[in-house]
Structure 1
């Protein structure tokens, strides 16, 4: 085949085939190879290091290299820093065993940009069965992988939403079952207020990307509904893992609502101090109501106390201590490591 004929076959890339490569093939076959939209190369298996002897226009367009830059070189020039060594080993094994194979590998263009290459390798033998060339086709699957990754992320998100929804519904179920009132209106209001508390915490979780949330933010959110007059909130930055955020938020709401209706916040001269500290294996939270005539509620009496016990003690594995003094109620909540508790809640929604 003359150089002029090769130039016609190679179109925009007149040097895409060496004089040695595929010289015995018919002109039509070479033309079809060159003009197909699928990137393809042929490497000479009889030469050391399997140099490229033929590359079609689509391959040159995909990689950004010219024919002169590719011919005579091994395809490993497309590999880079982030190319998987495992994928390279798979390619090496396919060639060593002289068989067909498909490998997905991260390759680099001439300009340094990357693309995911679904590489198909196939041996070409002569009439005597000897390996003479290796054919390789490439499919750029970068966009497909992006879609696949997005779908996987969406699937994980749906599973997470499903899990969190089950947790919320389980708490709502407890609220509905445990609420008791002879007045239908009071019953509805009681349930509604607690569901709204859950909703506030749910939004806080969403704002934090469904990850852990600062205990301070949970406390401020729930207590702030009843005002911040004479309220002191202080403590170190302690993160509450996502599965425990809603139970903790509901418990803080119950304490704040009780203080606003029956406790220190129901009186103008009353105050509230909320503090916490890291106790090593968990969290120690102190709730101190100061001033005003405080109505005592015996442990175990009233829905608020029942719910606190259900959430803080049975669900989160904590312990509540109540003390009534001259100044008012002092309540101490000891919680274990919520990271460990969160794992339990996640596996048993």
Structure 2
């Protein structure tokens, strides 16, 4: 007589019995999930606030929580004062789009100890295509971060952006000077995400032999993590000179982050339209960034991102920027000479 599988404390995982020889494939998968050394959770995408349904032993050991303390709760309880809002916005956008995402985020254990979580999130769909669960695996990257921090920060920065981009060091200097936060962890995370935006543009330039890239490629690269399926891009092919790519990359990154945190992309009904055209009679281009469907834009938020975006457009690129606030969003017009 076959034994009835027992329930595990970490959720609904059935425990394996050696007597049945792992005959049941689901039981084998459940046992692998439970016994792997990698922390893992499954959240129910069909329920309000997407609560945790399953958590393996490695996840409990990593976070210090018991199964009873976390099953049924949203994973945001792992966030804390130093958690980057940018990373949270990137995760939120991936969940809304039902797509995979890999993000490094600062989380906190039950005892308040912070740890760097290299999170990989993947959707699980049913046979009818409807979302059922999100599967999350975590890697504790704290030790890696500690070792990395021992290296000279100047060396890492110079390796990230080499001498072939004549403006990049001025951009990095602006990032350090103009980033602002009262919390050191949030400040460091903001700088990191901005340098990573530059690094992505740098890598794309290197792939193209530093001959420049198109406007659409740059916009998609920087906006994609926050609005992969919600941004409408309209415009002809415009080849951007290498000298202006990285400052523009930072501008698009800042605008996308702001939209995800405070603007149209923070609302389910929000819409983002980005269009561009070359100047008709002189080198350069005009780009329009239009957000709509965000009726909850408090006056206190209406200055977000102005310092860095303004510095990049008006000082670094010698261009012009104009913002127009509407009842449900914002319209931004950017003009840049191609020879900046």
Q: What TM-score results when the alignment is normalised by the length of structure 2?
A: 0.50
* Greater C-alpha radius of gyration: 1
Higher RCO (Cα < 8 Å, 6 or more apart): 2
Q: What TM-score results when the alignment is normalised by the length of structure 1?
A: 0.48
